[in-house]
Amino acid sequence: MQRSTTQVLYRYLPGAVFFHEDGFIAQVHHASGPRVSNLNRRVLFEELSNELGRWLPDQVGIPDPRTNPDEFVILEPEEVSWDVYPLSFECTNQACKRVVRWFRQRAVLEATNATGELKCPHCNAALRQLWYLTAHNCGRMEPLHTPKCPNCQNVANMYLEDLGSFRSSSWRCRQCGAAIGTRFTPCDCGRYARAGVRSMQRGFTPRDQRLWYPQSLTIISISAQTYDNLQGHPSRGVAALASWLGDETDLAVSLGQLDRPSGGARMSADEWAEQEARLRASGIAETIIDQIRETQGPVVTGVAAVAGTVSDAVVEAAGQRAMVERAGLFDKKIIEDRKSFADLHAQATGADSTAANYARTTMEALGIEDVSVTQRFPVLVASYGYSRCQKEPGTSDLKSYARQRLYGNKTPIFAVPADTEALLVTFDARAVLAFLGHEDDFAGPVPTEARDAKLALAEVLAADPAVGGDGAASKSRRLVHSASHALLRALDDGQSGFAESSLAEWIVPDALTSAIYVASYNDFTLGAFDTVLRRRLAPWLLRTAEAVSHCDNDPMCSQISAHRRHAACDRCLHLSYGCRTWNADLDRRLLRRFWLWTQQRHQETVRLETVA
Ligand SMILES: [Zn+2]
Ligand SMILES: [Zn+2]
Ligand SMILES: [Zn+2]
Ligand SMILES: [Zn+2]
Ligand SMILES: [Zn+2]
């Protein structure tokens, strides 16, 4: 079976149940592939340790990589070994339908006759696999339990009256006709149940995603000394913030400034002007004056300017991993080939220049500050375990992929590293802030300078780190996330050759930034994103804005209620593979309002400029 390693990561790791293309159900036993060496282990282990900390200690079946880094092996999953599962079969003769269950795959193979068919021991008709499974939050999964007949106590004559769902179906006895509900199977673990209530496994069809949730994390795996130094630096938030604000994107420079002894007090702008004039008058060389300015002059740019003027909360928020990763991505000494829209616009000539002008107008109209492209987006998606029934930390057991006598008796982490192609979209803080003001979620004035707007928004975001709420911060994050999905889906227009399922999202909502990257090169032309940025940026953005104005599932999709507070569904915003949060916290209506408003505002500005 040919699958991309990314698909394997999301669907076919150990413990997963899947439909084999030959028409049966199987469970992945183990996965194998080469060791991954070109990755930043330190960042991966740090983040994994943080992730594990979100579960209760008795739920975690994985060692802590901070204390036991040597117990792990990191593999790229290229081959998947599976077993036929479940080993429950029913007779295809409608007058019989008796269920036969095996407990070992070997026994099934032995029972298979020369023509490769399993036969009903009762009537000799062919058998087919019975699909239903039960599972529990503790990680247990079993074939649907076949009960004894409550009347004649025999198990050999039971058949399943299958009414299409686990709930409505029932067991019946061919012998005596007695019936029994497909009762929920108790689970021996005695956990995940209210006090005094038995733990129960739940029934699922193999297509149900709840049977197996891969637990994974995505990191930007940059192997550069500067980036490592940044990661471990106590003031990494300052450097990350200076990068996002556009003050200093060269991290080596930022780190140098952070590590410089602060020396004596600095002069005010006036004091320095006087001093500079004096130095110059006395014939001091300009290079010396520059050096003195750097240590004694007023701070206007760079990390020192950031450190002195923003709140501790903002600096702390900027130290979160995603912000630091973004700073790594936007350092041109680290990701050397990244081209911003401004870079391309400045170089464009002829037809490209016309396209670039149009693109710039369109970006302004949609509140987008920059779209960058790189062929070396260093993303790494790693799956370290799985859960059943529920996916959120703390709601179930986190199961390890480790297996006795496999993986050198270590705990495997399955990872797909890629220097892949990506488009990085950053929204304009002024547009987001003004829109929040327009919706009465932000009361302050909207700064006219982009940098000031970023700082104002950063204060709002730092004050409320939650996701999914109704405040300005949550709304801003939801807006960026929704836009990210809409932009990704709009690339799959049926013509350009982008398949939605081969793209994925990497997002830093607090920096108004999302990267759309190529997760599978199966059907993707290298350099295609570069072409989008050079030639087709405006059509792509406009198509995105147009697409969110409606959904094929309307009016249903747009109907919201106390239980469904935002509008998003698989016909408009959901992604099939590429969203780390499984399509949580998206709202097409919010995004639609945003873009209607930015476009209207842009038109008014243009009109005013024309009049003036
Ligand atoms: Zn039969
Ligand atoms: Zn019976
Ligand atoms: Zn259990
Ligand atoms: Zn929808
Ligand atoms: Zn997403």
Ligand 4 centre to CA of 257 (Å) is: 49
Would 40 be classed as within a structural domain?
no
Neighbours of ion ligand 1 (CB under 5 A): 91, 93, 96, 120, 122-123, 125
Proximal ligand: closest to the CA of 549: 4
Nearest to 318 by CA among 470, 513, 482: 513
Proximal ligand: closest to the CA of 156: 2
Per-residue pLDDT, 364: 96
Residues 162 and 281 in one domain: no
Q: Is the dihedral of CA 484, 534, 491, 540 positive or negative?
A: positive
Residues 279 and 144 in one domain: no
Ligand 4 centre to CA of 259 (Å) is: 50
Ligand 2 centre to CA of 327 (Å) is: 69
Distances (CA, A) of 270 to 42, 277, 558: 46, 11, 58
Residues 279 and 357 in one domain: no
Task: Give the Cα-Cα-Cα angle 360, 364, 367 (nearest 5 degrees).
Answer: 135
Residue with tokens 């039971």: 158
The number of domains in the chain is 3
Ligand 2 centre to CA of 160 (Å) is: 13
Say if CB 218 and CB 580 are below 8 A apart. Answer: yes
Ligand 5 centre to CA of 140 (Å) is: 29
Residues 184 and 231 in one domain: no
Ligand 3 centre to CA of 131 (Å) is: 20
Ligand 2 centre to CA of 97 (Å) is: 14
Per-residue pLDDT, 262: 59
Ligand 3 centre to CA of 164 (Å) is: 25
Ligand 3 centre to CA of 286 (Å) is: 75
- Max CA separation in the chain (angstroms): 113
Residue 378 identity: P
- Asked which of 187, 214, 241 is the last residue of a domain, the reply is 214
Ligand 3 centre to CA of 358 (Å) is: 59
Would 230 be classed as within a structural domain?
yes
Per-residue pLDDT, 261: 64
Ligand 5 centre to CA of 460 (Å) is: 22
Per-residue pLDDT, 385: 97
The CB density around residue 601, as the number of other CB atoms within 10 Å, is 17
- Report the SS3 class of residue 99: strand
Ligand 3 centre to CA of 382 (Å) is: 26
Ligand 4 centre to CA of 113 (Å) is: 50
Residues 205 and 240 in one domain: no
Per-residue pLDDT, 500: 87
Per-residue pLDDT, 301: 60
Ligand 2 centre to CA of 180 (Å) is: 10
Per-residue pLDDT, 167: 75
For 456-612, strand residue ranges (E) read: 503-508, 513-518
The CB density around residue 339, as the number of other CB atoms within 10 Å, is 17
Proximal ligand: closest to the CA of 486: 5
Ligand 3 centre to CA of 87 (Å) is: 20
Would 41 be classed as within a structural domain?
no
Ligand 3 centre to CA of 476 (Å) is: 39
Extract the residue ranges of the chain whose pLDDT is less than 50.
1-2, 263
Ligand 2 centre to CA of 204 (Å) is: 26
Cα 524 to Cα 396: distance, rounded to the nearest angstrom: 37
Proximal ligand: closest to the CA of 567: 4
Cα 155 to Cα 189: distance, rounded to the nearest angstrom: 25
Which residues, including other chains, have CB under 8 Å from residue 456's CB and lie 6 or more apart?
429, 433, 444, 446, 447
Ligand 5 centre to CA of 484 (Å) is: 7
Per-residue pLDDT, 263: 47
* Token pair of 536 as six digits: 């087709």
Ligand 2 centre to CA of 135 (Å) is: 27
- Report the SS3 class of residue 16: coil
Residues 148 and 262 in one domain: no
Residue 127: is it exposed, middle or buried by C-beta count within 10 angstroms (0-12/13-18/19+)? buried
Proximal ligand: closest to the CA of 155: 2
Proximal ligand: closest to the CA of 175: 2
- Asked which of 214, 234, 255 is the last residue of a domain, the reply is 214
Range 543-549 contact pairs with CB under 8 angstroms and sequence separation of 24 or more: 543/490, 543/493, 544/483, 544/486, 544/487, 544/489, 544/490, 545/366, 545/595, 545/599, 547/486, 547/489, 547/490, 547/572, 548/482, 548/486, 548/572, 548/573, 548/588, 548/591, 548/592, 548/595, 549/592, 549/596
Distances (CA, A) of 124 to 91, 98, 121, 420: 8, 11, 6, 55
Ligand 3 centre to CA of 207 (Å) is: 21
Proximal ligand: closest to the CA of 179: 2
3-class SS shares of the chain: helix, strand, coil, % to 5 = 35, 20, 45
* Token pair of 108 as six digits: 């099934």
Would 355 be classed as within a structural domain?
yes
Would 394 be classed as within a structural domain?
no
Cα 532 to Cα 540: distance, rounded to the nearest angstrom: 8
Ligand 5 centre to CA of 315 (Å) is: 25
Would 340 be classed as within a structural domain?
yes
Q: Which domain holds residue 261?
A: 223-322
Residues 439 and 552 in one domain: yes
Would 388 be classed as within a structural domain?
no
Per-residue pLDDT, 114: 64
- Asked which of 185, 214, 243 is the last residue of a domain, the reply is 214
Proximal ligand: closest to the CA of 202: 3
Proximal ligand: closest to the CA of 147: 2
Residue 31's DSSP bridge partners are 80
Cα 254 to Cα 163: distance, rounded to the nearest angstrom: 66
Residues 234 and 207 in one domain: no
Proximal ligand: closest to the CA of 555: 4
Residues 345 and 292 in one domain: no
Ligand 1 centre to CA of 145 (Å) is: 19
Ligand 2 centre to CA of 172 (Å) is: 8
Ligand 2 centre to CA of 104 (Å) is: 26
Residues 233 and 192 in one domain: no
Residues 200 and 281 in one domain: no
Ligand 5 centre to CA of 504 (Å) is: 8
Cα 533 to Cα 538: distance, rounded to the nearest angstrom: 9
Ligand 2 centre to CA of 175 (Å) is: 5
Say if CB 36 and CB 25 are below 8 A apart. Answer: no
Would 465 be classed as within a structural domain?
yes
- Residue 33: phi and psi, rounded to 5, are 170, 180
Ligand 3 centre to CA of 140 (Å) is: 6
Ligand 2 centre to CA of 120 (Å) is: 18
What's the pTM?
0.75
Ligand 1 centre to CA of 93 (Å) is: 6
Per-residue pLDDT, 43: 86
Ligand 4 centre to CA of 493 (Å) is: 17
Residues 253 and 341 in one domain: no
User: Helices (H) and strands (E) in the chain — how many of each?
Assistant: 19, 18
